[in-house]
Amino acid sequence: MNQPENSTDPFVSWLRNSTPYVHAHRNKTFVISFGGEALAEPNFPALIHDLALLQGLGIRLIIAYGARPQISQRLTQAGIQLSYQNGIRITDDKAMQCVKEANGVVRIDMEALFSLGLANSPMAGAQIRVASGNFVTARPIGIRNGVDYRHTGEVRRIDAQGIRQQLDNRNIVLLPAMGYSPTGEVFNLSAADVACATAIALEADKLIILHEGEPLSQQGQTLSSIQPRELDKLLQQQEALPEDFCLYLQGALRACRNGVARSHIVPRQQDGVLLRELFTRDGCGTLLSAELYEDIRRANINDAGGILELIKPLEDSGVLLKRSREKLETEIACFSVIERDSSIIGCAALYPYADEGKAELACVAIHADYQGTGRGDQLLSHLQQQAIAAGIQYLFVLTTQSSHWFLERGFQLSGRDFLPESKLELYNLQRNSQVLYKSLS
Ligand SMILES: CC(C)(COP(=O)(O)OP(=O)(O)OC[C@H]1O[C@@H](n2cnc3c(N)ncnc32)[C@H](O)[C@@H]1OP(=O)(O)O)[C@@H](O)C(=O)NCCC(=O)NCCS
């Protein structure tokens, strides 16, 4: 089969490989959020071009933006200091004036950039319409421990229907970090609060957070995916994370637990991050996906029976190699399982060859009733994290019937000579399995 990857022209190859993502994202609703820092940078027009491209590809876009540096600048010019109590800012009348001005200027600047359409520019012929308005209803944070937070507020309600109408008309919706109350007041909100509440209210397909600073990482390796519980733990441990980033992470967690299946936490500074995150397999940020109400965990000796039951039909049909109970029990520490209602519905093993920086992925199996629902992906990502944490550079797998599943997940075909020597000695010629590998660096 002539696969797209085989094209000698990198451009053709790249465009072909991105096609599945183009189809997958069309007509989907994405809430994308970034802070005012993005606007202050010379390459901000490039981000706007990328957003215009997404809109052109039929993605329904809501942009929830912050304007903190722009507000700070105005406050400094006016000789006003924003005071904080318990980590929450207090917005008095004068500060609120700066908030309104900064948000207005930022919106106008963005509208101008979306209007660009000169010949020979990336947005020639795009004719993008943007809409903003009173889509966010806010309430005051109020008085806490005797401190009146004045015009600092929080989201009370999102006008999902109003926003949907705009999206149906193929408009991009711009949401500043401000909201209005039924009393006719304006409140200063956090962009994270607006983005998260909007993603939940619209049942968005994705919440994409373009944050400042370093990517989410563990032991120096960027985390390509994370589960809500792990993120919870990370938030408790890493007190040093910047406040705005924490607000975003908490927002992503809330979105994830309220029906937003996927949140992408992407470091903004690199050029083209949005495109790489959405149109390449591995992306460049961290994917937070909704928790299955099941447990993915390391196996223990009590799981041996459940694993044997799960893999028996696959062994009988020759998809997986036969394993005795004794062998499985000896190797149980290498296995991870998905447990649901006390049944093992998925398993996979990771056998390290540490001297060679490689590890074998084996016995990947999802119960037939649960296939095709992303569990295989979750298990693979779980083992990938395990391998990264163990300093492994390459994963490899031997398979007779699932090579495409692995190819679609970033593995590449290789010859047998990729196998560690001790594994090569055990290679079963009769089975003639294909060898695939994936680099983890
Ligand atoms: C391969 C396997 C682990 C995938 O698990 P899963 O939970 O169904 O996978 P996901 O839900 O993450 O992905 C589903 C996608 O993979 C595709 N897929 C499933 N099995 C496949 C295979 N053998 N070859 C190619 N693609 C496959 C599905 O068609 C689906 O794609 P689609 O949505 O575009 O139709 C599972 O099918 C299985 O247990 N297979 C038998 C055991 C096996 O072959 N293991 C690998 C050798 S170690």
Shortest-distance Cα residue to atom 23 of ligand 1? 402
Give the mean model confidence (pLDDT) for residues 364-379. Answer: 88
Structure tokens given for 36: 């005012």
Q: What pLDDT is recorded for position 333?
A: 96
339 and 209 both lie in a single domain: no
Distance (Å, whole) CA 284 – CA 265: 9
Distance 349 CA to ligand 1 centre (A): 16
Q: What pLDDT is recorded for position 293?
A: 58
Q: What pLDDT is recorded for position 3?
A: 42
41 and 188 both lie in a single domain: yes
Q: What pLDDT is recorded for position 191?
A: 96
Ligand 1, residue 401: give the atom nearest the CA.
Answer: 23
Distance (Å, whole) CA 436 – CA 398: 7
Q: Which of 382, 397, 405 to mutate to test the pocket of ligand 1 (most atoms within 8 A of CB)?
A: 405
Task: List the single range of 2-11, 31-40, 286-295 with lowest mean pLDDT.
Answer: 2-11
Distance (Å, whole) CA 240 – CA 340: 36
Confidence of residue 374 (pLDDT cuts 50, 70, 90): confident
- pLDDT tens digits, one per residue of 266-297: 999 888 999 999 998 778 899 998 765 577 89
Q: Could you write out the DSSP letters of every residue in 137-187?
A: EEEE--EETTEE-BTBEEEEEE-HHHHHHHHHTTPEEEEESEEE-TTS-EE
Q: What residues are paired with 209 via a beta bridge?
A: 33, 265
Distance 147 CA to ligand 1 centre (A): 56
Q: What is the DSSP letter of 4?
A: G
H or E stretch at 201: helix 191-201
Shortest-distance Cα residue to atom 22 of ligand 1? 402
276 and 149 both lie in a single domain: yes
156 and 277 both lie in a single domain: yes
- pLDDT tens digits, one per residue of 227-274: 888 888 888 876 677 888 899 999 999 998 888 989 999 999 888 999
Output the furthest CA–CA distance in the chain (Å, rounded).
Answer: 80
279 and 371 both lie in a single domain: no
Give the mean model confidence (pLDDT) for residues 157-175. Answer: 97
Ligand 1, residue 365: give the atom nearest the CA.
Answer: 39
Q: Which of 370, 371, 396, 398 to mutate to test the pocket of ligand 1 (most atoms within 8 A of CB)?
A: 371
Give the mean model confidence (pLDDT) for residues 6-33. Answer: 89
- pLDDT tens digits, one per residue of 379-412: 999 999 999 999 999 999 999 889 999 999 999 9
268 and 181 both lie in a single domain: yes
Distance (Å, whole) CA 182 – CA 137: 8
Q: Which of 311, 402, 413 to mutate to test the pocket of ligand 1 (most atoms within 8 A of CB)?
A: 402
Positive or negative, the Cα torsion across 48, 192, 64, 37? negative
Residue 129 in this model has a pLDDT that exceeds 60: yes
Residue 6 in this model has a pLDDT that exceeds 70: no
284 and 359 both lie in a single domain: no
Ligand 1, residue 404: give the atom nearest the CA.
Answer: 25
Give the mean model confidence (pLDDT) for residues 174-181. Answer: 97
- pLDDT tens digits, one per residue of 87-119: 778 999 999 999 999 999 999 999 999 998 877
Phi, psi of 385 (to 5 degrees): -65, -40
- pLDDT tens digits, one per residue of 200-227: 999 999 999 999 988 888 777 788 888 8
309 and 233 both lie in a single domain: no
What pTM value is reported for the model? 0.66
Confidence of residue 2 (pLDDT cuts 50, 70, 90): very low
209 and 99 both lie in a single domain: yes
Shortest-distance Cα residue to atom 17 of ligand 1? 405
Q: What pLDDT is recorded for position 91?
A: 93
133 and 251 both lie in a single domain: yes
Domain finish residue from 230, 257, 289: 289
Shortest-distance Cα residue to atom 16 of ligand 1? 405
283 and 299 both lie in a single domain: no
Find all residues with CB under 8 Å of 244, minimum gap 6, and list them.
35, 66, 68, 190, 192, 211, 212
Residue 1 in this model has a pLDDT that exceeds 50: no
Domain of residue 366, CATH code: 3.40.630.30
Distance 429 CA to ligand 1 centre (A): 24
Domain finish residue from 289, 315, 347: 289
Distance (Å, whole) CA 1 – CA 10: 19
Assign 226 to helix, strand or coil: strand
Question: Would you say 286 and 221 are in contact if contact means Cβ atoms under 8 Å apart?
Answer: no
Assign 261 to helix, strand or coil: coil
DSSP strand pairing (434-439 vs 394-399): antiparallel
228 and 331 both lie in a single domain: no
Q: What pLDDT is recorded for position 226?
A: 87
Domain finish residue from 289, 324, 342: 289
Ligand 1, residue 402: give the atom nearest the CA.
Answer: 23
Question: Would you say 255 and 207 are in contact if contact means Cβ atoms under 8 Å apart?
Answer: yes
Q: Which domain, by its residues, includes 119?
A: 4-289
Distance (Å, whole) CA 253 – CA 231: 8
Residue list, ligand 1 pocket, CB within 6 Å? 314, 319-320, 362-366, 371-377, 397, 399, 401-402, 404-405
Residue 7 in this model has a pLDDT that exceeds 80: no
Domain of residue 273, CATH code: 3.40.1160.10
Q: What pLDDT is recorded for position 239?
A: 67
Q: How many domains does the chain have?
A: 2
Higher pLDDT pick, 124 / 286: 286
Residue 328 in this model has a pLDDT that exceeds 90: yes
Ligand 1, residue 346: give the atom nearest the CA.
Answer: 39
